[in-house]
Amino acid sequence: MLFSSTWFILQSLLRSELNHDKHRSKKRGGSKVENKTIEEIIYEETDKRLKEMESPGYQFPKKADEKDVIGIVAAIVINLLLIVLCMMGVIV
């Protein structure tokens, strides 16, 4: 569940950055362009998410169970196996 939460945050940050770029490109016609660093965008998004999580109706995600752990370990083992096979020249 940690992975899905992290992925959700990264997707939202990317979406907000893309929306910010679209908004910025519309303003180039002569009005002032606001430039935000990635750090400012992350702080704003973090603040927004913390406020959302503090709301009374927020439902926290379930903790990772045994199936999640098995899936993570299996993915690691498969990736390590593929890396070793590439190093040995079996997979080119």
Task: Tell me if 6 sits within 8 A of 61, measured CB to CB.
Answer: no
The residue assigned the tokens 């040995």 is 88
User: Are the beta carbons of 18 and 45 closer than 8 angstroms?
Assistant: no
Q: DSSP alpha helices (H): ranges in 29-91?
A: 38-54, 66-88
pLDDT tens-place values along the chain, 92 residues long: 455 566 667 677 667 665 655 555 555 544 444 688 999 999 999 999 999 999 999 998 899 999 999 999 999 999 999 999 999 999 87
Query: Which two structure tokens, joined as six digits, stand for 55?
Result: 């709301």
- Look at the block and give the residue holding tokens 């998004």: 45
Sorted by where each begins, the domain ranges of the chain are: 2-88
b/e code 14-27 from CB counts within 10 Å (16+ = b): eebeeeeeeeeeee
Task: Provide the whole-model pTM.
Answer: 0.44
